[in-house]
Amino acid sequence: MNRARSFLLLLAVAAGVGAYVWFVEMKRDPNESAETPREKLFTLEASQIQELRIRNEAGEESTLKRSGDRWMLSEIAGTEADETEAGNIATSLATVESNRVVDEQPASLAEYGLDKPRISASFTDAGGKQQTLLIGSRTPTGGDLYAKVADSPRVVLIGSYLEETFNRSRFDLRDKRVLRFARDAVGSMTITNASGTMIFARRDGAWHMTAPSEAPADDPAVESLISRLSAARMGSIVDAPDLNKTGLAKPSASVGVTAGPARAVLEIGGAADGESVYARDPQRGMVFTVESSLATELKKKPEDFRKKDQ
């Protein structure tokens, strides 16, 4: 019985692939060259895009708008977008190509999943023109996606790798930096944990510990921690956090970094799970999670940061 069912399942899969080959591959013009250049779906440069609107497979909509040299996430006031994410989406829309035309005038969009598109990516250019890319089902082989430009009837195939580019959540699209400071401008750092308070200052190009006692600091150790703080990203954001439950009513550690006139502060709370801990940026009033290894770094003792004997 099991063998029979397995055979029928394989037969169904083969039939699906066969149908795809018939309806997509066999519809190709036999005189079409294998080297036929692919067609760009939109004619513009990524730098011309002023606004992006993404609706992901879960139905969540996000809007990104240029503000000077930055992208802002409209749904959360004052929140910057992740520059890499925004740049990838803008570039992908400006360069997306049709791998092949499937149907110039489809009788029904349902067979391509385009009657109710799973994902959409829209943009507004510098001239105010709006255009939208609609993405439907994956092809049976999984190598392509059925897609169309909103104001065109034509169904085309685009690369399946673009699904990950456009199917982004609002959290994916927001700036997830834990602290914001100019890495090369850092002049001092203060760490407070169970061992007390440690203060570090940069003098003549080298780091010195000024508290709990005066001593040369281990430059690689201090620089490594500053780099870690600069690169740290949120794992998740906690909605309506309880400071007692998150351990942030009495932080287990905190760090303050001064870079020029700016100062950034991070507080560490209790464990969120096996790999992350709760943390807070008191200046923004946000509670989020970070990697537990960052908390471990901030709980080191003064001797871990003192310059070792040569």
Q: What was the pLDDT predicted at 37?
A: 65
Residue scoring higher pLDDT (276 or 27)? 276
Mean pLDDT of 186-194: 98
Question: In angstroms, rounded to a whole number, what is the distance separating the alpha carbons of residues 95 and 279?
Answer: 39
Average pLDDT, the chain: 90
Q: What was the pLDDT predicted at 13?
A: 45
Residues of the chain with pLDDT > 70, as a percent, come to: 88
Q: Say whether the peptide bond before residue 212 is cis (omega within 30 degrees of 0).
A: yes
Amino acid at the residue 38:
R
pLDDT at 310 over 90: no
Q: What was the pLDDT predicted at 120?
A: 98
pLDDT at 168 over 60: yes
pLDDT in tens, 48-106: 999 999 999 999 999 999 999 899 999 998 899 999 999 999 999 999 999 999 999 99
**Going along the chain, which residue ranges are E strands?**
39-40, 49-55, 61-67, 70-73, 79-80, 97-98, 100-103, 119-125, 130-138, 144-149, 155-159, 186-193, 196-203, 206-211, 215-216, 236-237, 253-259, 262-271, 276-281, 286-291
pLDDT in tens, 142-154: 899 999 999 999 9
pLDDT in tens, 283-297: 988 999 999 999 999
Q: What was the pLDDT predicted at 78?
A: 87
pLDDT range class, residue 38, cuts 50, 70, 90: confident
pLDDT at 28 over 50: no
Neighbours of 49 (CB within 10 A): 23
